[in-house]
Amino acid sequence: MDGLEPAVICSETETAQRFLASAYDSVAAMFDNLETLRQLRKQQGRNIQGRLPGNEEDLLRAAILFSGAGVDASLKRLIEDALPTLLDVNADAHQKLESFVASRVAADAAPASLARYLVARVPREAVILDYIASLTGESLQSVEQVGKVAGPLGLNERALRQEIRELRGLFVARNEISHELDLRQTQRQGDRSRLGRKIRTTQALTHSGLNVAQKMINAVAAALGGC
């Protein structure tokens, strides 16, 4: 499996970086295990061309799930650890916070929210905690959800936004596996009951997801003065 973009490190993104590195290692291990099984089949004189047997496809499915989980966990940790500091140095991120507060004030429950903020020991911190909770409360397992948190992190570069949109294939595959176990209705006798997974396609999907997360972490680290 190809490596990711070189990491840019700062204290606020260090844990998110570790989460992503762990996900990468897990995904890479799935591909290593798959290659070991394929070589064993080859040594046994068995054909390794064509569709993979079910147990080997399951390793590809695991790689897709681990990749999606890595994106979710690392970006949520990035928001929790880096956003409070980022709000002080990034105008775009701060503007998103202002929009969030304005929407809360305009909401039906505004009096209760305002009362809680006003009596908090540090009102701004209370607002930021609510803001972070709103960004991390849902699973980041779709293009829309990842795009939704990019803006609050000040990540508005067109090229990066395009790369996020190109993750749709990964999330579609992840949801097919997570929610449906890749099961499909068979058309003819002898058809397999599960969607097939291919090595190169899966490598491309998983690498793109983890690499976009790496670019997002790097961009935030750079904005915070990372080395």
The residue among 162, 186, 169 whose CA lies nearest residue 68 is 169
Residue whose entry in the numeric block shows the structure tokens 């508005």: 156
pTM value is 0.91
Of residues 182 and 167, more confidently modeled:
167
User: Hey, where are the domains in the chain?
Assistant: 11-85+130-183+194-223
- Of the candidate ranges 28-42, 140-154, 189-203, the one whose mean pLDDT is the lowest: 189-203
Of all residues in the chain, the percent with pLDDT exceeding 90 is 72
| Predicted local distance difference test score (pLDDT) of residue 2 | 87
What's the rounded Cα separation, in Å, for the pair 169 and 200?
13
Per-residue pLDDT tens for 69-79?
A: 999 999 999 99
Of residues 124 and 106, more confidently modeled:
124
Whether 107 shows a pLDDT value over 80: the answer reads: no
Whether 191 shows a pLDDT value over 60: the answer reads: no
DSSP-H helix ranges across the chain: 14-43, 54-86, 91-106, 110-119, 123-136, 143-150, 158-165, 168-180, 199-223
Q: How far is CA 187 from the centre of its chain?
A: 34
Q: Look over the chain and give the mean of its residue pLDDT values, rounded to a whole number.
A: 91
| Predicted local distance difference test score (pLDDT) of residue 80 | 98
| Predicted local distance difference test score (pLDDT) of residue 177 | 95
